[in-house]
Chain A
Amino acid sequence: MRRRKVSFPYMGTSYIPFNTIATAFGNDVIMPPKPTAKTISYGTKYAPEFACYPFKIVLGTYIEVLEKGADTLVTSGGVGPCRAGLYAVVQEEILRNLGYDFEMIILEPPSAGLFDLIANIKKLINTSISIFDLISIIRFAWKQVKVLDKAEKLSHRVRPLEVKRGQTSRVYKQSIALVKKARNYTELLEVERQIEKMYDKIDKKDIDPIKIGIVGEIYVLMEPFSNLEIEEMLGELGVYVERSMFLESYTISNAVMDIFHLTGDKDAKRAASPYFNEMCGGHGRESVGNSVLFAKRGFDGIIQLSPFTCIPEIVAKSILPTVCKKYGLGFMTISLDEQTGKEGLRTRIEAFIDLLAAKKRHKQNLKSLDLAKEL
């Protein structure tokens, strides 16, 4: 069998499990490099002007891996109406027009045709694999996803409390390296324990940090390069950050549930329904729903991340201010594209946090006044 040189888009830490699966299926993996300014410059040069930011990053990544010799690109499809479902079609056209020769394998969601999906996955299996092997590969990759998500969640929790700045980020980087190194399931279990211990060892302050929920479009949420490492920035400013979406929950609600034609993330959808009652593609409705859920859990503010011109998020953006006002949350929206600068963003965020802190103090003062009156 011919060995394919497979590559895929880069998004957060998802390249680790993808790599595991693609290698186990008997392919050579051309590792997509972490996006850099060079990636963006390729992307913006050939992408349509109003394509969203993820499109440009992914296109840039494709060009980089094709230059490295990849001949098969694996990517996801979609049923819309978010534009992401058409990424692959447009990108393929652009890349062919640039003279690259490759095969694009588009994995459509199972509800759009389970047999097409299986046929496409079969194209990627270039070695003899038993069902037992298949199950153990998927189990291993799934555990990787879970451990990676766990490490990230822990980093969000610990970072605002750290005494020595930068320690958490260092531990997080170490955890990723450890997960990458683990070769089988038992090693992964060991790594999981080790990661927990490492986070445990970090010196922590005893404070009640400001809590901010982050909602928005999946790519800019998951890929720190595209959101200018906003989570790290917030954490180091002493804010507890919680993101509405992780790879694990995303995969369950969009791939696994989809096989049975069920909609995932029901809680968010139910929470959004008084304000936003229609599936509009992307994660527009989930953004609204998750904001409501964050509010109910006592968060202080919401930050919405969206790529410039992202349609579902524009719809959400029109609705969110009303929702946040109703629940007394601070609300800030950040449009991201290749022009967004980190320092400008930091200034905006610092101002936002100052406001939230003042509001929180005010609330606490009111509470203690009430208490005093009662006494």
Chain B
Amino acid sequence: MRIGIPRALAYYVYYPFVNTFFEKLGCKVVVSDVTTKETMDMGVQDTITDACVPLKLFHGHVRNVKDKVDYVFTPRLVSVNNEATFCPKFLGLPDMLACSIDNFENPFEVRIDLQGSKLRLFTLCYQVAKRLKKGFFATYNAYREALTNLKNYKHQFLQGGIPPLGIVAQKKDTPIKLGVIGYPYMLYDPYLSLDLIKKLINMGVYIITPEMIPNEDKAKQGRKMKKTLFWTFSNEVLRSGYHFLDKKCVDGIIHVTAFACGPDFAVDKLLEIKSKNHNIPYLTITLDEQTGQGGLNTRLEAFVDMISIKKKKLGNKGKEAAMA
């Protein structure tokens, strides 16, 4: 059986798990093609205008893959931990797809709710495997392997690599370090993010994304917050931002967000206020289905230039102080 996986939204976080799991169960996994103008256009056609870009892209990717496979994997992410759920658009995703895409008859809907015990993930996997008529041991093996793969994937991030973009390691001795934060589906889709990360690396910047910060550090920031946000990915982003500001381990922060992104109204404002108080440069980049590169290039160059000038000035002052 061929199972199609749309390359959008939570794909960038969980694909090592999902892909491996289905492969080990004996399915042929077909991931939709990388995002192109065509995918975007198809998505824009099907969705309503005020939906955010990542959601539009998901529709595009489903249309890209649906005719090539027997089933399309459409997750309904409800929760992956005990503290938060997901943006309503994740919760209503299968329902929206059913109403927005014409002739979409082969969804493979999986409701992912891992609240409660740690066994929930395995029980869920077992339920999925049962629908595919696989036995207990096959499921267990697939599950184990998928978990290992996910762990490897996360480890690569912690080592400073960005596996979804094919970056294995970054040069450590760069003059500028930037925190680039945003949802994984915004940052790691090179078409959507207009290749922002590689552009910055080529400017000689060392980049830290939320996935590169150890979980314990993020959890520490989480305990300081007055009220936990309701959305898992937003929590990751906000805590990473707070971590950067607290530890002062970066020279500036770039927040990448989608036009009219709901959860980001809080994330962006809270970070903006806090970085102002901490005196760390902060830039918000809002992306939508427009593909003009010029504006983005200018803004990134200006931001990086500004930081390097600031650093030079500080360096000179330090030298003068040392001479005196």
Binding site for B on A (CB under 8 A): 47-52, 55, 77, 79-83, 85-86, 89-90, 93-94, 97, 275-282, 284, 308-312, 314-315, 317-319, 321-323, 335
Contact = CB atoms under 8 A, between A and B. Distances in A.
Contacts of B96: 315, 318-319
A48 B268 contact: yes
B39 interface: no
A282 B230 contact: no
Smallest CB-CB A-B distances: 7 pairs: A80-B230, A315-B92, A311-B262, A280-B88, A322-B99, A318-B96, A48-B269
B41 to A, nearest CB: 18
A278 B266 contact: no
Contacts of A276: 92, 95
A309 B260 contact: yes
Given A86-B229, A278-B76, A278-B78, 15 more contacts: A50-B259, A81-B87, A93-B270, A94-B269, A97-B273, A275-B98, A281-B91, A308-B260, A311-B87, A311-B89, A314-B48, A317-B50, A318-B51, A318-B100, A319-B96
Interface in B275-309: none
A55 B95 CA distance: 27
* Secondary structure of the B contact surface, majority rule: mixed
A83 B265 contact: yes
B89 A50 contact: no
Nearest to A90: B266
Contacts of A309: 50, 260, 262, 265
A314 B48 CA distance: 8
B107 interface: no
B227 A86 contact: yes
B88 A315 contact: yes
9 contacts: A50-B260, A81-B87, A81-B230, A86-B227, A86-B266, A93-B269, A309-B262, A315-B95, A323-B99
Contacts of A323: 99
Nearest to A285: B92
Given A93-B273, A94-B273, A312-B88, A50 B261 contact: yes
B231 interface: yes
B74 interface: no
A55 B91 CA distance: 23
Contact of A48 (B76, B111, B265): B265
> Which of A277, A317, A318 has its CB near the most chain B CB atoms (within 10 A)?
A318
Given A93-B270, A279-B91, A311-B89, A81 B265 contact: no
B52 to A, nearest CB: 8
B47 interface: yes
Contacts of B98: 275, 322
Contacts of B270: 90, 93
B224 interface: no
A239 to B, nearest CB: 25
B223 interface: no
A77 B230 CA distance: 12
A215 B291 CA distance: 36
B88 A282 contact: yes
Contacts of A312: 88
B191 interface: no
A282 B89 CA distance: 12
Contacts of B78: 278
> Which of A48, A81, A319 has its CB near the most chain B CB atoms (within 10 A)?
A81
B261 to A, nearest CB: 7
B287 to A, nearest CB: 13
A89 B263 CA distance: 13
Contacts of B266: 48, 83, 86, 89-90
A317 B48 contact: yes
A51 B263 CA distance: 9
A335 B50 contact: yes
B273 A281 contact: no
Contacts of B263: 83, 311
A27 to B, nearest CB: 24
A314 B89 CA distance: 8
A154 to B, nearest CB: 34
A51 B265 contact: yes
B11 interface: no
Contacts of B76: 278
B95 A319 contact: yes
B264 interface: yes
Contacts of B226: 89
Nearest to B257: A50
Contacts of B273: 93-94, 97
Nearest to A80: B230
Given A83-B262, A83-B265, A281 B88 contact: yes
